[in-house]
Chain A
């Protein structure tokens, strides 16, 4: 059932409503392949083109150029109601005049299935999504999380080729968001449906995706598994957008790097030529901090206790400001502002930006 989604050279230009001559390039030369059964996240700040891309896949927007393929079928000229790409909307878009059950079977009724089949499919999905007990309720009697489940059930019951999620959890509170994203991921894997998932929440993206597509300004910055985009960001934007990052200037020397006179070897060699100036990404948790000894000396500019970690802003001698996280700070206490300490970057975590 699951199909690959292939996107080739996709562009979308909007003419801005105020001045028809000016155009906004919302999606620029996007190439992407989603393997059958995979869940791929489109991640980026608001206005990066991720929702436009998803809406083009659903058929609600017309690409300016490029191809959208489900399997080997080109979908560009297929109307949205014939694409078999069920979508879960950010606002849920539940039909307010229909009961939960009628919402779920809305699409099945249009397929004119035999009544018994329809009932069986609906019952199964209501069961899976835990809505059986409230199937006769009206949507305005449901909580946000329950409405979210109705939207999900309504999409999944169609057994679509492709499942599309447009920031489905952004209207839920933090706790519920965590539960729901686990449920969505489990359901998607159990049913083996190819899924595209739009979000601006990097934690959400990393926790549920097979692969993440990081977008910025309509352009795909990087495509990779969650650990790849985090540990091996392809651009400065990706490093900065996903998690926190210190950008450290360095120089390539004999396959390793030199930072402020200190030499480090690299776990993943860079292809930058010997002697060239580079920028390294150093995550705050990849730095060891000590009162007595280390590679670089530093001064504490700010210290914040956050419970599971302490977050320090340091002025590292000869380099600049670094953010450093120290885990389990309850045990060791905080270094006070102004105190002199030592830091040592973890060699294995040092990553040279290409």
Chain B
């Protein structure tokens, strides 16, 4: 093994650029991913410089913390369950059944993924809050409270069911419908075919989607902060309150560690255990065959369900748009531009700040993602799997934990970054690069390695090979990495809320502040602006990637 590592190092030494690159990336992962997390752990075990377990003791003593943990876990499980049910039905209907408007329904279903984290929360307040359109105006309820378990669960279901949908869509698409045909052919009923063939084959995918939604729910910060209410504490907002409210860093760190444990466990199960158990019975081009295992009435029933979900999504956005142009929701429905005027007069610096941060983050994150994917798939060097693990680690860690880690790590000697643009950019880059890495790895594994060897063979260095051959070929992954980085930089809140300052503020934080002070109209106006910017940016990035790789669109792999 040792001689192996030595010979890998020798190969690396022949290519100084590669060597330098590997070194720099390792250093960056250590400083900006591992070190902040380590600081969270260390701080949670310390009290005024002394090692102690006292903070963890509070978890047993204090009802607040105990409830926060229980509430977060039960909400996560509930949202995971509902998200998977909705996602599975939507995926089944939109991949397997012959129904109208599939493309449109698909787009509506995934819309919540690109929107800021408060759209559903703010919509729910508009509709079901104390002055809610449905609860107060239409039903005349005076003492209905949406805050608590129900509010958070419903808001999160609409935020995260689309993620379950996307994941299950991939699972269903990779299972050949001919298997169902085969079961029907040898005499199984439709019901038997579903429960004995389709369901077992998709079971690992279902478990995986459940865990993904569970992780997202645990890590979610915006919905609980807006909708949990004081009587229903949850881990992520509680950790935030400990730090910004009571300036109690060790307790915040302790809650962060408690938050990490279920997240990392779920992530490990999903990635290292379930992923290997997923079935792929379609290789190459998926066969376009519609499922025959549902009868017509069932088919339309399922379709109606998907339609209903899409309608609610549309309604949420409609409410946001109407709300942004309404004087005072619940009292005065006169149309107005006042909220937008407020955004552009009082809050315009935040808009510019957010744009600057997103525009700096996007290319760095996109290129770094492709570079790491390239190194991991194509190169051998000691510590390769550590690099892959380190680079996706921050994806599994809830944003709140990352945020706390960053203020603990970069507030003081040796690296002081708090309050700067740099800390926000670094946080976003390392938090959102994993998606680019994962899609880059997936695409690269499908590209014949001899294409890159051919470039080297013709005299291209590693860097030239990457720039002139690899990058154009992985353009689709590059594109999704860029879009994801931009969308997240525009919509992130959980880590960023610890890192914003008077100098550098974010629109999402502004939305939260506006919700907090009851100005829902302004919050809605900000949300619409975020969505518009994201849509424009996707168009721009698409055009840019197309230009960069003019020939690539002629090539199919």
Contact = CB atoms under 8 A, between A and B. Distances in A.
Interface string B435-468: 0000000000000101101111111110011001
A82 interface: yes
Q: Which of A59, A78, A111 has the most CB of B within 10 A?
A: A59
Interface string B1-15: 100100100110011
A89 B459 contact: no
Given A77-B14, A138-B555, A96 B473 contact: yes
Contact of A81 (B448, B450, B457): B457
A89 B15 contact: no
A60 B455 CA distance: 12
Q: Which of A59, A91, A95, A140 has the most CB of B within 10 A?
A: A95
B262 interface: no
B448 A20 contact: no
B549 A97 contact: yes
A174 interface: no
B453 A93 contact: yes
A58 B10 CA distance: 16
B378 to A, nearest CB: 11
A62 B10 contact: yes
Interface string A74-90: 00011111110111011
B62 interface: no
Contacts of B4: 15, 20
A95 B14 contact: no
A140 B554 contact: yes
A80 B458 CA distance: 9
B556 A80 contact: no
Interface size on A, as a range, is 35 or more
Interface string A95-107: 1111100000011
A115 interface: no
Interface residues of B, number: 32
Interface in B527-557: 549, 551-552, 554-557
Contacts of A20: 1, 4
Contacts of A60: 453, 456
Contacts of A59: 456
B360 interface: no
B472 interface: yes
Given A79-B15, A93-B448, A62 B551 contact: no
B469 interface: yes
B452 to A, nearest CB: 8
A86 B458 contact: yes
Contact of B453 (A80, A94, A97, A140): A80
Given A96-B555, A97-B552, A87 B14 contact: no
B457 A80 contact: yes
Contacts of B557: 96
B457 A62 contact: no
Interface string A193-236: 00000000000000000000000000000000000000000000
B450 A93 contact: yes
A154 interface: yes
A239 interface: no
Q: Which of B448, B458, B465 has the most CB of A within 10 A?
A: B458
A110 interface: yes
A42 interface: no
Nearest to A140: B555
* Interface SS of chain B: helix
Contacts of B1: 15, 20-21
A90 B451 CA distance: 11
Given A93-B448, A96-B473, A106 B455 contact: yes
Contacts of A106: 455, 458, 460, 468
A99 B451 contact: no
Interface string A19-34: 0110000000000000
Contacts of B461: 79, 81
Contacts of B15: 79
Nearest to B7: A62
Contact of B450 (A15, A78, A89): A89
Contacts of B459: 81-82, 107, 110-111, 158
Contacts of B464: 110
A97 B556 CA distance: 10
Given A62-B11, A95-B451, A138 B457 contact: no
Contact of B456 (A80, A90, A94): A80
Nearest to B461: A81
A96 B552 CA distance: 7
Contacts of A138: 551, 554-555
A60 B459 CA distance: 13
Contact of A140 (B14, B457, B556): B556
B251 to A, nearest CB: 45
Nearest to B464: A110
A77 B554 CA distance: 39
B551 A99 contact: yes
A95 B10 contact: no
Nearest to B448: A91
Contacts of A62: 7, 10-11
Contacts of B7: 62, 64
B88 to A, nearest CB: 36
Nearest to A82: B459
Interface in A141-173: 151, 154-155, 158
Interface string A41-77: 0000000000000000011101010000000000001
A94 B448 CA distance: 10
Contacts of A85: 457
A214 to B, nearest CB: 25
What are the 3 closest A-B residue pairs judged by CB atoms, nearest first? A107-B458, A93-B450, A93-B454
Interface of A: 15, 20-21, 58-60, 62, 64, 77-83, 85-87, 89-91, 93-99, 106-107, 110-111, 138-140, 151, 154-155, 158
Given A79-B15, A106-B468, 9 more contacts: A20-B4, A79-B461, A95-B451, A96-B473, A106-B455, A107-B460, A138-B551, A138-B554, A154-B458
